[in-house]
A and B are shown apart, each in its own frame.
Chain A
Amino acid sequence: MTQHHDINVHFHKDLEELERAVLGMVDRAEQMVGMAVEAVTTGNQDLAAEVIELDDIIDQTYLDAHHEWTNLMARHQPLGSDLRRMTVLLQLNNTFERMGDQCVNIAKIAQFNEGLPSVERIRDQVREMGDLVRPMIRTAIEAYVRQDLDEARLLPVMDQPIDRLNANMYKETVAVGNNPELLEWATKMLMVSRALERVGDQAVDFAEQTAYLITGERAEFDDVGMAGMADDNKS
């Protein structure tokens, strides 16, 4: 064999287009996280409405991608890394659609909380969570695009402070006292915290899919990531 030919050109072109569409969803979702956090911490209602509108685009892309995925499977029955890529794209399509839904949940809370009193410390904490979640999504995208296993393994480590902040949010909510309006606002912000924590988990799932695509082996990603870190520490 002296020359390398792709004799499956049409399928691979369609596969790349599907991949672009699905990655476009997470790109959009990452922007929506920033907009939703801004809306819920500042009360910017225009931003909240924009997030809800943008999710319609994600939902439509989800449906189109699912349709195209079914079409490609039926027509080409891919194997090897093509099969893994298809499996991963189906999973990511679901994950990114849900990321969009979490952003809508936050945006709707921004609408609900309009006019309610608020606590600066809680707003700061939600901003901090948003500032941590967005780089996670970026890192996961880069790991996928570069097919970089080491970068993918960073995700569970990056997720740890978000989990800690989310756990702390319960204490902050309890600490707001008995003012019914403030308590209502804080309880909703607890849901925002939970939504951001879920987005973090979804970014970890994205990285897990990337690792599977690269290695061909399914593994508990937390273990992989932590094992990798442990090995690094030893050396």
Chain B
Amino acid sequence: MSEPVAADSTTEISQRIIAKEMPTGTEDSLTSISPTGRPRETVISVTDLSVYYGSFQAVDKVSFPVYEKQITALIGPSGCGKSTVLRCFNRMNDLIPSAVVEGVIEYHGVDLYGENVDPVEVRRRIGMVFQKPNPFPKSIYDNVAFGPTVLGYKGDMDELVEETLRKAALWDEVKDKLDESGMAISGGQQQRLCIARAIATSPDVVLMDEPCSSLDPISTLRIEELMLDLKEDYSIIIVTHNMQQAARVSDHTAFFNVKSEIDGQRTGYLVEYSQTRELFTSPKQKLTEDYITGRFG
């Protein structure tokens, strides 16, 4: 079975777009927090990240790591900047002219906002799934094949589409209607199609911005199960309003809050980051405790 994106084309694209070779891990990026005792690599390292939209500061000096093949949840009240932080990971904020990103986000040790880094390659390696399912108005097959085609995939596309749809736990449901519109299937299936589209280009990080907020409970459960399967191969960062969802699926959780500045601006900041089981049973910060127990205002 071939890789979703041929090794030679990946190398070519990488060499063309990313001048600096990305290491698979350095001594500094290793941590010993794995429950098995095995050191886990830090895939993304966030240091003093601040985000501005014009004169408005949305996020203030956020720092935390994202570990390989783990699910990291970002939780917090509305306006706390969790989606803003998520969008920084694949440079989605570049699309907003007034957005300014300060601090350092390193992906495998490479500064994501470095001069020689191409946002397109960043988005291939760090895929994104949005709040509402947004399949292209194309066939199910073409939705999956679109990214690899754009990136010049030369392998067996049929094989790639099947493999990707199987990974997204959707193959059995759509294998007989691959030519039908991606918009003609249920909301839950559409979201899994979007996940398939995100992983078709072989990323190693998948960002999910409230991926279940528009889904019914059964579809939500299926996405959660899929996330747990996908973390065998991918590092996942999920923004969710649903604390129980964060508690169910994530390995690490970052809790954000929003502070009101003197001039009335509301700026998000990180209150606490830790392993999920710690954060949801014995949080270190009173704010976290208040939030997860509903004593928050």
Where the two chains meet, the residues of A that have a C-beta atom closer than 8 Å to any C-beta of B are: 1-8, 11-12, 77-84, 216-217
Contacts and interface: CB of A to CB of B under 8 A. Distances in A.
A7 B289 contact: no
A77 B280 CA distance: 11
Given A4-B290, A77-B244, A79-B247, A216 B282 contact: yes
A1 B297 contact: yes
Interface of B: 243-244, 247, 257, 259-260, 280-283, 287-290, 292-297
6 contacts: A6-B294, A12-B294, A80-B289, A80-B293, A81-B289, A217-B282
B296 A80 contact: no
Contacts, number: 54
A7 to B, nearest CB: 5
Q: Is the interface of A mostly helix, strand, loop or mixed?
A: loop
A217 to B, nearest CB: 7
Contacts of B288: 80
Given A1-B287, A7-B297, A12-B295, 12 more contacts: A1-B257, A2-B260, A4-B295, A4-B296, A5-B297, A7-B295, A8-B293, A11-B294, A79-B293, A80-B289, A80-B292, A216-B281
Nearest to A9: B294
Given A6-B294, A7-B296, A80 B257 contact: no
B295 A6 contact: yes
Contact of B297 (A3, A11, A84, A217): A3
Nearest to B257: A1
A5 B295 contact: yes
A2 B259 CA distance: 10
With most chain B CB atoms within 10 A of its CB, the pick from A1, A6, A77, A80 is A80
Nearest to B294: A8
A1 B294 CA distance: 14
Best-buried of A78, A79, A83, A84 by chain B (most CB within 10 Å): A79
Scoring B289, B290, B293 by chain A CB atoms within 10 A of each residue's CB, the highest score goes to: B293
Closest 5 CB pairs of A and B: A8-B294, A216-B282, A5-B297, A79-B292, A80-B292
Given A4-B295, A7-B296, A79 B243 contact: yes
Contacts of B296: 1, 4-5, 7
A213 to B, nearest CB: 11
A142 to B, nearest CB: 24
B295 to A, nearest CB: 5
A181 B280 CA distance: 59
Nearest to A87: B281
Nearest to A83: B281
A17 B288 CA distance: 25
B280 A83 contact: yes
Nearest to B259: A1
A82 B296 CA distance: 14
Nearest to A85: B293
Contacts of A8: 293-295
